[in-house]
Structure 1
Amino acid sequence: MEKIKVQDSVGAVLIHDMTQIIPGITKGPRFRKGHVVREEDIPVLLSMGKEHIYVWDQTPGLIHENEAAERLAKASCGPGITLDEPKEGKITFTAAQDGLLYVSEDGILALNSLEYIILSTLHNHRPVKKGAKIAGTRVVPLMIDETLVLEAERLANTFSTPLLEVRPLKSFKVGIVTTGSEVFQGRIQDKFGPVLKAKVEGWGSVVLGQTFASDDISMIQHSIRDHLNQGADMILVSGGMSVDPDDVTPTAIKEMGAELITYGAPVLPGAMFLLAYMGNIPILGLPGCVMYSKTTAFDLFAPRLLAGERLSRLDIVKTGHGGLCLDCPVCSYPHCSFGK
């Protein structure tokens, strides 16, 4: 701690809060601990009756918490994120656009393993809206050894992708194939179409069309190929996903030459979810729960596809940890444990 004249304090770091009292108007901290004194602060300090102030004794190799937080934030931040101004060694990250949050879990662990470094985030693959708070960083001491910050910056650069980014969802042309002889024959009303259309449009994509097929392998395959020929970027096949002998949707998809990624996901509801690819076009087999459950495996995986990912079986099976929906009376997803 060092006592210096106010007139000589530009660039110095305050070691405690300083209260300003204006009778009838305000009483509270005018300058916070850690504030870096600026030229325009001098008249204010003098008006507060301060001839001398106590500041941090500058030591070579130490940097101020605000500078350290700013460097950490910039090292961690990728596209689609806005950083606020540093305050008391803290910086808040907010989404600059609607999209899906991507977090490098290994990168966050690496940074937080360093002494005095803190980076706290929301969960990976969380849908976020523009302006939403998604992360925050800070350093613990008022002044921190710069070598720690340099090491954090080096670690962040060792990862192939940013530690944090918000990826926008692409606008896909989506074809819907609704299977089931009872629907195809008109014996019951289609309930899948309106649900899927609302979800697709809510994600910013468009429904290219919806076709109906009976429980017939060749008819299902023909409907899928018809949407592909029309330029679909994604195919949703609803119904016929159970193990009943007359539920032939998985067989139809596999036998048309698609690359099967998974038939089954460790997610409830949505265990009978199917993902396959025809070239680069994802085909999603959707179980009946998508029709009546507010949030299912479909809501976890479709946005990641729309964000440009090509999902593997490992990506699917990892969701078992957190893949249990609690069926809350009022669904609050994504503000809950589902898919985390």
Structure 2
Amino acid sequence: MRFGSVPVVEAQGTILAHSIDPGGASSLDFSKGVLLSADHVAALVGRGVAEVTVARLDPGDLHEDAAAARIADALCGSGLVASGAATGRVNLRASAAGIVEVDPDAINTINRINPAITVATVAEWARLNARGLAVTVKIIPFAAPEVDVARACAAGHGAVHLRGPTLGHASLIETRTGEADPPEKGRQSVKGRLDRLSVALGERVIVPHRIAEIAFALTHAPGELLLILTGSATSDTLDIAPQAVRAAGGEVLHYGMPVDPGNLLVLGRIGTRPVIGLPGCARSPALNGADWVMERVICGVPLNRIDIPGMGVGGLLKEIPSRPRPREG
């Protein structure tokens, strides 16, 4: 692609690089990116404009819109819908609520092919509502070499998908350490999280904070996803909630996570059903580590692919007001 000033009389068939006001009334479009026609040239000449800054495509170049559309089409996996190309940009949006699965190596490869070609995505595993923006493909200049566009398409084929919910019903077991039932706030916060992915929450279940009672409740809970919100924090993999999972015939896959708030999370399974022992911060609607794990479990990410130890970078989240021991002080 060649870029620079040319005499107006030589500008037909080039791409206008900067919007201009030709003066006077005109039905012609003189905005940035317009392909200049003979009528454009005549109008500019008639108004005394001598030169314009333009882009001229060389053989082997693709117009910005065509290049962006090709790359977006290659990237677009299941659950995503592409917008029409405009000003060298195509967006990929979620067709429904879900989480975004991204191949970071593929995206990084594309972005290193040619500075003219850029792809930006939301963070890997980000949750989106329907129509949420997942990816934007932007060609920076007015064209990109077709050979580089082809390389980008090959590197990025199917690199971004939307995982929708695969579970539709959850059971929450709450525990009490005394005679009083826990406040409703915790259950409502959990329900709000499930609602975002259209997961129904079963009837309220409250049991004493003891292994046998929790195990019994887990065994008889109808949900495809089993959640535990304890009245006393889980302090060890041999504490009450993890031991209840084992007593119910299940296994504990992981305890603790490098996300704050959210450290005291338990991940396990009973048969084919995933179990999440929620940290106390799940009583707040604020983002915490449990959100990341719940969303991936609900959207069908295999439990052995949920890399909890790998969540530390970016895992220092906003402080919540209800935190028993604030970080500061």
Q: Common fold, TM-score beyond 0.5?
A: yes
Residue identity opposite 1:106 in structure 2: D
* Aligned mates of 2:183, 2:255 — CA distance in 1: 27
Q: After superposition, where does 1:33-182 map in structure 2 within 5 Å?
A: 33=33, 35-36=34-35, 59-116=58-115, 117-157=117-157, 162-170=158-166, 172-182=168-178
CA separation of 1:29 and 1:277: change in aligned 2, threshold 3 A: same
Q: Name the residue aligned to 1:234.
A: 225
Task: Assess if the C-alpha contact under 8 Å between 2:256 and 2:264 holds in 1.
Answer: yes
Q: Name the residue aligned to 1:324.
A: 316
Deviation sequence 1:80-118 (CA, Å, 0-9, x none):
333333233222333333322222211111111112321
* Aligned mates of 1:266, 1:204 — CA distance in 2: 28
Residue identity opposite 1:153 in structure 2: C
Q: Name the residue aligned to 2:283.
A: 291
* Aligned mates of 1:138, 1:199 — CA distance in 2: 33
CA separation of 1:27 and 1:44: change in aligned 2, threshold 3 A: closer
Task: Assess if the C-alpha contact under 8 Å between 1:169 and 1:306 holds in 2.
Answer: yes
Task: Assess if the C-alpha contact under 8 Å between 1:170 and 1:204 holds in 2.
Answer: no
CA separation of 1:134 and 1:178: change in aligned 2, threshold 3 A: same
TM-score normalised to structure 1 length:
0.77
Q: After superposition, where does 1:259-270 map in structure 2 within 5 Å?
A: 259-270=251-262
Deviation at 1:224, TM superposition (A): 0.6
CA separation of 1:292 and 1:130: change in aligned 2, threshold 3 A: closer
Residue identity opposite 1:164 in structure 2: V
CA separation of 1:50 and 1:65: change in aligned 2, threshold 3 A: farther
Residue segments in structure 1 that go unaligned for 5+ positions in a row: 330-340
Counterpart of 1:276 in 2: which secondary structure?
strand
Residue identity opposite 1:63 in structure 2: L
Deviation at 1:189, TM superposition (A): 4.8
* Aligned mates of 2:140, 2:238 — CA distance in 1: 62
TM-score normalised to structure 2 length:
0.80
The CA RMSD measured in Å over matched residues stands at 3.5
Q: Name the residue aligned to 1:277.
A: 269
* Aligned mates of 2:238, 2:91 — CA distance in 1: 54
Residue identity opposite 2:292 in structure 1: L
